[in-house]
Amino acid sequence: MYIYAFGSVCRGEIDRYSDVDLLAIVETQMDTLNFNKDDYSIYSESRIRELWDEGNPFAWHLSIESKLIFSSTGKDLIKNLGTPSKYKNCTSDCKKFQRLFEEAFLSLTNSCDSSIFDLSTVFLAIRNFATCYSLGIENRFNFSRDSALKLESHPLKIKSECYDILKRSRILSTRGKGENFTYEEIIGVKDCLLQIKKWFEKFKIN
Amino acid sequence: MSEFNNRISLQRTVIKITNSLGYRHQLVGISSKAIDRWVIDNKIDPKSKLVVKIKEISGQLFFLANKSQEQITESYRKLSNIVSHLVDELKEEVEKMLNEG
């Protein structure tokens, strides 16, 4: 069993939204029962190896930004796995996250019943899209929570208040932390969605 | 649609059904922390059928995250059946609550 810290804490990217991301790599399904899935991302060793072979962005993320905290074997599995394969699924991943945005956009347009969840999904879509695009097209590592703002080509430019609401909604819907939203905040951020839609359309993903 | 997007879509369905109850604070996610927050904000009985059902769905939807790729197709098929059954049960519970006023 291996335990790693990864993400913002390893980048020194600390803000009021920061949390400590922990990864547990286990050998068997039974081992997963020892971990609280709210506190850990839990992967089997075989799945981690698959991610490396796929050149999955998460594998690149871990290879660049993770720190070993505990190893039951005395070895550092991630270090020993070396460099992940070249990232091959950039096009399909980017399209997937663009579709994810479109579904959230449609839901937000049609009803208010899941508006905060939908805003949270918008944030997930722009962040993951930007991370995949940076790795696959720009050949850059951009694993920041704010990866969309840090793209080389077409960084996302929306009002910071809107961006902050998207970010807050993501924290609220996953970690259950943060202030609840006012009606005005939700309406305000809906105005930025068209800008985000146009931002996605700037990228030529084939 | 990808397995990932499907899972998000299922979460949205659960959230829309639940929020049709009109609680002051919306359910905004189905991670257990988001559910706990919603329960506290709205002073809902954590042992109610409604909460237990949502937590059951939550457990199923997050179950796949750590499965290896080879297992996903079969697991996802099984999971879809389990989750759609649970979502039907949630709908029934919500309709019952709405009818009882």
Q: Tell me: the pLDDT tens digits for A97-121? A: 999 999 999 999 998 899 999 999 9
As to burial, measured by CB atoms within 10 angstroms (0-12 exposed, 13-18 middle, 19+ buried), residue A191 is: exposed
- Does any CB of chain A come closer than 8 Å to the CB of residue B67? yes
Q: What is the pLDDT of residue B74?
A: 56
Q: Please tell me which of the candidates B20, B29, B68 has its beta carbon nearest to residue A173.
A: B29
What was the ipTM of the complex prediction?
A: 0.89
Sign, CA torsion B87/B79/A171/B1: negative
Q: Please tell me which of the candidates B15, B16, B66 has its beta carbon nearest to residue A44.
A: B66
Tokens matching residue B45: 């009985």
Averaged pLDDT, A141-156: 94
Q: What is the pLDDT of residue B63?
A: 63
Q: How far apart, in whole angstroms, are the C-alpha atoms of residue A186 and residue B98?
A: 26
- Does any CB of chain A come closer than 8 Å to the CB of residue B81? no
**Is B50 within 8 Å of B93 (Cβ atoms)?**
yes
Q: What is the pLDDT of residue A151?
A: 96
Cβ contact, residue pair B37, A177, below 8 Å = yes
Q: What percent of chain A is predicted at pLDDT more than 90? A: 69
Whether B85 shows a pLDDT value over 50: the answer reads: yes
Q: Tell me: the pLDDT tens digits for B54-67? A: 999 998 887 654 44
Secondary structure class of B36 (helix, strand, coil): helix
Q: What is the pLDDT of residue B70?
A: 44
Q: Name the residue in chain A with its Cα closest to that of B31.
A: A174
Secondary structure class of A23 (helix, strand, coil): strand
- Does any CB of chain A come closer than 8 Å to the CB of residue B28? yes
Q: Please tell me which of the candidates B4, B11, B37 has its beta carbon nearest to residue A117.
A: B11
Cβ contact, residue pair A100, B5, below 8 Å = yes
Tokens 């109850």 locate to: B21
At residue A134 the predicted structure's pLDDT band, cuts being 50, 70 and 90, is: very high
Q: How far apart, in whole angstroms, are the C-alpha atoms of residue A137 and residue A139?
A: 6
At residue A18 the predicted structure's pLDDT band, cuts being 50, 70 and 90, is: confident
Q: What is the pLDDT of residue B1?
A: 60
Least trusted range by pLDDT, from A27-31, A75-79, A159-163, B36-40? A27-31
Q: What percent of chain A is predicted at pLDDT more than 70? A: 99
- pTM comes to 0.91
Q: What is the pLDDT of residue A191?
A: 81
Q: What is the pLDDT of residue B66?
A: 44
Q: What is the pLDDT of residue A56?
A: 92
Whether A145 shows a pLDDT value over 70: the answer reads: yes
Bridge partners (DSSP) listed for residue A67: A5
CA distance B93 to chain A (A): 18
Cβ contact, residue pair B31, A174, below 8 Å = yes
* Cβ-based contacts of B36 with chain A (< 8 Å): 176
Element (H, E) at A68: strand A66-71
* Cβ-based contacts of A32 with chain B (< 8 Å): 66
Q: How far apart, in whole angstroms, are the C-alpha atoms of residue A31 and residue A2?
A: 11
Q: Nearest Cα to A172, choosing from B41, B81, B67, B95?
A: B41
* Higher-pLDDT residue of A29, A24: A24
Picking from A39, A108, A116 by the largest number of B CB atoms within 10 A of its own CB, the best residue to mutate is: A116
At residue A47 the predicted structure's pLDDT band, cuts being 50, 70 and 90, is: confident
Least trusted range by pLDDT, from A137-141, A146-150, B3-7, B95-99? B3-7
* Higher-pLDDT residue of A122, B7: A122
CA distance B50 to chain A (A): 17
